[in-house]
Amino acid sequence: MKNIIIAHGGAPTAVINASLAGAIDEIKKSGFDGKIFAARYGSKGLFTGDFIDLTDTSDEEIARLIKTPGSAIGSSRFPLYDEEYEQIVDNLIKNNIGYLLFTGGNGSMDGLGKIYEHALKRNTTISCIGIPKTIDNDIKVTDHAPGFASAARFMAQTCRDCAQDVKGLPIHVVIVEAMGRNAGWLTASAALARNNKNDGPHLIYLPEVPFDEEQFLKDVKEMHEKYGGVLIVASEGIKDKNGDPVCKAKNSTSRSSYFGEVASYLATLVTEKLGIKARGEKPGIIGRCNSSCASEIDRKEAFLMGKTAAKAVLNGKNGFMAGIERISTEPYEIKPILIPIEDVMLVEAKLPNKYIAENGHDVTDEFVEWLRPLVGDLSDDISFLD
């Protein structure tokens, strides 16, 4: 009897463990009689052979896993070299692994695809299936990926609360920074914060639209004259017309750096050029791992993707990623599908033009309609100011 192993890749989300829970649940219910392993810290565990035995995971643990943010088995985000894939396949063979599930974004799917290719070359029978995961929603083909809806709900709910704060104390311009370096899905999600057309966010700056400082200052001035308090959302990855980041990478080490500090940069710009009090807020990883704002649909779909992938891999499917096909938006209905892994390896899905408003600093109604069922209802509010 062969064993199965599950690995996580890249940054965790609020619901990556729900996919793990779904996979374990499906494997246990299938009557599978091999061992269920997890790779400790993702590809690192696969490479070093550091496996966690999850065969005896209880139903109570599965229920708690569904609500636990972050990666309960650990993850990593370092790309592997060719000879490292050989070592991984060696470890899988040595541990009698017949099935590999890998949860991650387009980078992780690239890694999974390479393990799949190396295993094929070695004539072994390790079935490989991917489970989509990303807060940036930049995986191709699938309608959306688990992790995104919860991060989107955080942006929407957070911006609704901040808009209410700014409306009641209209003394400044507040800029909230959104994650998603190249894809604006998460930044765009802030639009769901609005109940009425005058509600914040009043301006939304996406990485897909070239950022023009002069136009930005003009827009901010106009909104400030109109509303007093202004709420702005900007992607950490906004770029100028030459494609250069508005904010350079900082805190670089030999292996990586991080973008961001865009909100702070823009706030200083507003104060220096317009003389208006401004502050930048940067939730950062607070937004990607936030369990209080997790979307119920997202948790369910993450669980479903884990189950779908586990079912497929145990049925001998190989070289696919589980995905979501949207059947209908109203009422919301989806079905799980399998996508050939080569269609999603290292390609990025950006926010399409149909979802970007003509003025370049907002989204379209079509986007809001598409996103609303994923985020669910936000809290109700009231204001006597209008």
Min separation Cβ 38 and a second copy, Å? 6
Q: Look at phi and psi of residue 347 and say left if phi exceeds 0, alpha if psi is from -120 to 50, else beta.
A: beta
Residue 323 Cβ, how far from a second copy at the closest point, in Å? Answer: 24
Q: Which is nearer to a second copy, 77 or 140 (CB)?
A: 77
In the bound state with a second copy, the residue whose beta carbon lies nearer, of 264 and 364, is 264
Which residue type occupies 376?
G
| Residue 316 Cβ vs a second copy, minimum distance, rounded to whole Å | 27
Torsion, CA 74, CA 144, CA 211, CA 261, rounded to 10: -20
CB nearer to a second copy: give 54 or 131.
Answer: 54
- Nearest approach in angstroms of CB 68 to a second copy is 4
CB of 232 to a second copy, least distance (A): 13
The DSSP secondary structure of 157-190, one letter per residue, reads HHHHHHHHHHHHS-SSEEEEEE--SS--HHHHHG
296 vs 302: CA distance, rounded Å: 10
Q: Which is nearer to a second copy, 175 or 304 (CB)?
A: 175
Any idea what DSSP says for residue 250?
A: B
> Which one-letter amino acid corresponds to residue 79?
P
User: How many residues comprise the chain?
Assistant: 386
For residues 133 and 13, is the Cβ–Cβ distance under 8 A?
Answer: yes
CA distance 385 to 131: 47
Which residue number, 174 or 334, has a Cβ lying nearer to a second copy? 174
The distance of Cα 217 from the centroid of its chain, to the nearest Å, equals 30
Q: How many Å separate Cα 275 from the centre of its chain? A: 36
Least distance in Å: CB of 325 to a second copy?
30
Cα dihedral value 84, 256, 238, 145, nearest 10: 40
- Provide the token pair at 114: 């390479």
Q: Which is nearer to a second copy, 125 or 268 (CB)?
A: 268
Alpha carbon distance 191, 194 (integer Å): 6
380 catalytic per annotation: no
**Tokens coding 84:** 């490292």
Structure token pair of residue 110: 């690239």
User: Which two structure tokens, joined as six digits, stand for 137?
Assistant: 């929603």
- The active-site residue, picked from 25, 110, 136, 138, is 136
Active site residues: 136
